[in-house]
């Protein structure tokens, strides 16, 4: 029997109180006072108190995501969505454990016991294959590849340092990026830090390692730190090239791509902090660099170009609680050819952000449609990412869904 308005109100209040209790529980588990928690999410202590008492609702997905990031939990934990075990969970968990074990190995203690240096060409081929796997969004497979890749790259670096620096940095970078995807930002930070340490005095190589570092910090809810790290790295490139954003002949496309990608990450970090002015200015600068670079540059620079910047504008608008602007931008983006040239991983991740925008505007049908499309483009982006599963869960809780969304929710083991 359908609930009347009073009944729905009671359900809404109960759900709000339940979510508030979960926020309080996780805040205490993270050993944060209400004031510390409030400071980290840019709210007042009284706002936190009202949320935890159920007086104030977390009524936007972007807000739930922000709170979850600070608490370092899957947003579904806050929503209280019932979830059945899913086969992908075990695959991803096993992969993460193997990567964790690989990162626990320190080369300085293993010197002399790493074994003979492998063939340089073979290690480079494996690095290329890892990046290709990342671009296709096959995260479980990449997690399985990373431990062996790190072992080979470390042995090459130990035996032939002059040939091993770049492969090892790239191995750590791709490891950090996939760890961010599966919600392991702490481990991603460690992998990115290893990449930076390995890069040494090579400014461009070190700057490229800051890209996943910025993503890891954002995943930990440390937007200000992410801004500082990425902007500092971008300025170092600019200083070493006489202005990396310029179109001078002595500035390589790779330098511009790394520079632009760092600015893009800084802009997204600013958006995560609610800093409208900085986000707008940084993404404006990024767009100028992207026009010089064009689409289709080296895959290792995270698909930087005009299409990537367009997509980032949507992501930033969602983070800044401006879903209407995000929806308008998305409508324009999908009419262009450029975004279709982005890797499958990038397109699927972007479509999840587009779904969030539609969800926040109340258009559940469009949100579901874009989620189903993301699942078609790169299934692991939906199946392995906690934030993506939460969008599906929120749509499933909100009312009747289209058949595609219902099938996706069932595939993910979500129940209402």
Task: Give tens-digit pLDDT for 358-401.
Answer: 988 988 889 989 999 999 999 999 888 887 888 888 777 776 66
Quick: pLDDT tens for 163-221: 899 999 999 999 999 999 988 889 999 999 999 999 988 999 999 999 999 999 998 88
pLDDT tens across 25-49, in order?
Answer: 888 877 788 998 988 888 888 889 8
- Helices then strands, counting H and E runs in the chain, come out as 22, 0
Report which listed range, 5-19, 96-110, 178-192, is most confident.
Answer: 178-192
Distance of CA 254 to the CA centre of its chain: 22
What pLDDT, on a 0 to 100 scale, did the predictor assign at position 401?
64
User: Among 2.40.50.100, 3.40.630.10, 2.60.40.60, 1.10.260.40, what is the CATH number of 1-59?
Assistant: 1.10.260.40
Beta bridge partners of 70: none
| pLDDT band, residue 126 (cuts 50/70/90) | very high
Instruction: Give dist(CA 219, CA 277) in Å, integer.
Output: 21
pLDDT at res. 107: 58
- Domain ranges in the chain are 1-59, 105-200, 212-304
pLDDT of residue 5: 38
Between 93 and 283, name the one with better pLDDT.
283
Average pLDDT of the chain to the nearest whole number: 83
Q: Over 50: is that where the pLDDT of 1 sits?
A: no
List 414's β-bridge partners, or say none. 83
Cβ(349)–Cβ(379) below 8 Å? no
CB 348 within 8 A of CB 382: yes
Q: How far apart are CA 137 and CA 158, in angstroms?
A: 31
Q: Give the C-alpha distances (Å, rounded to integers) separating 395 from 153, 359, 362.
A: 43, 7, 10
Region 74-98: what's the mean pLDDT?
64
Note the pLDDT tens digit of each residue in 212-256.
Answer: 999 999 988 889 999 999 999 999 988 876 554 443 444 578 888
Q: How many residues does the chain have?
A: 416
Rounded Cα–Cα distance for residues 200 and 82 (Å): 47
pLDDT in tens, 282-337: 999 999 999 888 755 554 444 788 999 999 999 999 999 899 999 999 999 999 88
Name all contacts of 343-347 with Cβ < 8 Å and 24+ positions apart: 343/135, 343/136, 343/137, 343/299, 343/303, 344/135, 344/136, 344/137, 344/377, 344/378, 345/134, 345/135, 345/136, 345/137, 345/378, 345/381, 346/135, 346/302, 346/303, 346/308, 346/311, 347/374, 347/377, 347/378
Give the pLDDT of residue 243. Answer: 52
């Amino acid at each position: 029997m359908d609930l009347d308005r009073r009944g729905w109100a009671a359900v809404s209040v109960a759900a709000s109180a339940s979510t508030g209790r979960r926020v309080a529980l996780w805040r205490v588990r993270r050993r944060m006072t209400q004031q510390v928690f409030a400071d980290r999410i840019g709210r007042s202590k009284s706002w936190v108190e009202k949320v935890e008492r159920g007086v104030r609702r977390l009524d936007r997905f972007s807000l739930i995501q922000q709170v979850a990031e600070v608490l370092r939990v899957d947003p579904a934990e806050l929503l209280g969505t019932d979830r059945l075990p899913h086969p992908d969970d075990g695959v991803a968990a096993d992969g993460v454990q193997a990567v964790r074990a690989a990162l626990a190995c320190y080369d300085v203690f293993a010197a002399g016991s790493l074994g003979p240096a492998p063939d340089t060409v073979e290690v480079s081929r494996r690095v290329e294959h890892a990046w290709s796997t990342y671009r296709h969004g096959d995260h479980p497979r990449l997690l399985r590849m990373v431990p062996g890749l790190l072992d080979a790259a470390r042995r090459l670096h130990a035996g032939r340092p002059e040939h091993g620096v770049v492969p090892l940095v790239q191995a750590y970078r791709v490891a950090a990026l996939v760890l961010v995807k599966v919600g392991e930002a702490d481990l991603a930070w460690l992998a990115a830090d290893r990449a930076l340490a390995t890069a040494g005095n090579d400014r461009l190589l070190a700057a490229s390692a800051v890209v996943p570092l910025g993503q890891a910090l954002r995943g930990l809810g440390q937007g200000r730190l992410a801004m500082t790290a990425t902007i500092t790295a971008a300025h170092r490139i600019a200083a070493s090239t006489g202005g990396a954003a310029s179109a001078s002949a002595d500035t390589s496309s790779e330098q511009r791509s790394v520079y632009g990608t760092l600015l893009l990450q800084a802009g997204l970090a600013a958006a995560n902090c609610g800093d409208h002015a900085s986000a707008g200015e940084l993404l404006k600068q990024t767009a100028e660099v992207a026009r010089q670079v064009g689409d289709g540059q080296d895959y290792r620079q995270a698909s930087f170009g005009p299409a990537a910047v367009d997509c980032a504008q949507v992501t930033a608008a969602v983070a800044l609680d401006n879903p209407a602007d995000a929806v308008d931008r998305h409508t324009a983006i999908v009419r262009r050819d450029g975004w279709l040239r982005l890797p499958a991983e990038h397109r699927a991740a972007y479509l999840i952000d587009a779904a969030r925008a539609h969800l926040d505007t109340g258009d559940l049908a469009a949100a579901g449609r874009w989620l189903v499309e993301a699942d078609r483009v790169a299934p692991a982006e939906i199946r392995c990412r906690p934030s993506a599963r939460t969008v599906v869960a929120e749509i499933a809780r909100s009312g009747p869904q289209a058949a595609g969304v219902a099938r996706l929710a069932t595939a993910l083991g979500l129940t209402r």
